[in-house]
Amino acid sequence: MTGDVSFKRILLKISGEALMGARDYGLDMDMVDRVAGEIAQAHAQGHEIGLVIGGGNIFRGLAGAAAGMERASADYMGMLATVMNALAMQNALHRIGVDARVMSAIPMPTVCESFARPRAVRHLEKGRVVIFAAGTGNPYFTTDTGAALRAAEMGCDALFKGTSVDGIYSDDPKKNPDAERFDTISYDEILKRNLKVMDAAAIALARDNRIPLVVFSIREEGMLPRVIRGEGRFTLVTPEEE
């Protein structure tokens, strides 16, 4: 799908698994550097960029230890994993000359800034990439919900989600080759069909704040700057028309 998908301020959500490369867990620094390079290209196009990275790549290695643990404690471990990913991405961006700030929903001032909306907006206005870490700061919420929340708070024009496939399908295309791919779809249709794009709380939050969602493959090299220009393959999710 091609089209005019031009947004000034965007929130990019990528999974922690996207940074694993071929590893079973942890960080593949070549992959981190590649994604950082694509963010730098999008930034150079004049976009203000906020970033949320999941923690699955690190938490996967801790899954055995977390088995049987109460949900809240396990969720806090996952939040700390997102801070580790955020620091790695900040370092990769700094190495290629992109000013970036990590802002954590859980205060840890010796490591990074604490999230404060006015300061985050100011960073974006000054051309810095802002990496939002530690989700919402609360257990029982996913990083997808954290991304939708930050997109709303920052007044973002769109929420971009980089996944392992090139858009939204009616079923898992890796398991079902006959799955239908959508070029465009509404939030209400996603909820109605129970499509596994983001959790329902994130979908509802983005829909209610009328934030378009663009789903694309972060694993396809060079796709992020292309999709932001409205090129390449992606699915555009729009709020229902009033």
Q: What pairing do the DSSP bridges indicate for beta strands 168-169 and 48-53?
A: unpaired
Domain contains 4:
no
Q: Which residue has the tokens 């942890």?
A: 26
Q: 19: which 2 tokens?
A: 């940074």
Q: 191: which 2 tokens?
A: 């909820």
Domain that includes residue 134, residue range: 9-238
| Residues 16, 59 contacting (CB under 8 angstroms) | yes
Instruction: Specify the number of domains making up the chain.
Output: 1
Domain contains 1:
no
Q: CA-based angle 205:209:212, to the nearest 5?
A: 90
E strand or H helix that includes residue 13:
strand 9-14
What is the DSSP code (8-state) at residue 23?
Answer: S
As a whole number of angstroms, the distance between CA 175 and CA 158 comes to 29
Residue type, 57: N
Domain contains 89:
yes
Q: What is the pLDDT of residue 196?
A: 87
Domain contains 3:
no
Domain contains 186:
yes
Select from 139, 146, 143 the least CA-distant residue to 70: 139
- Residuewise pLDDT in 10s, the chain (242 residues): 334 446 899 999 999 999 988 888 889 999 999 999 999 999 999 999 999 999 988 876 566 566 778 888 889 999 999 999 999 999 999 999 999 999 999 999 999 999 999 999 999 999 999 999 999 999 999 999 999 999 999 999 999 999 989 999 999 888 998 999 999 999 999 999 999 899 999 999 999 999 999 999 999 999 999 999 889 999 999 987 54
Domain contains 2:
no
What is the DSSP code (8-state) at residue 111?
Answer: T
- Longest Cα separation, the chain: 51
Q: 186: which 2 tokens?
A: 């509404």
- Using CA atoms of 217, 161, 21, 131 in order, give the dihedral in degrees to the nearest 10: 150
Domain of residue 152, CATH code: 3.40.1160.10
As a whole number of angstroms, the distance between CA 28 and CA 51 comes to 18
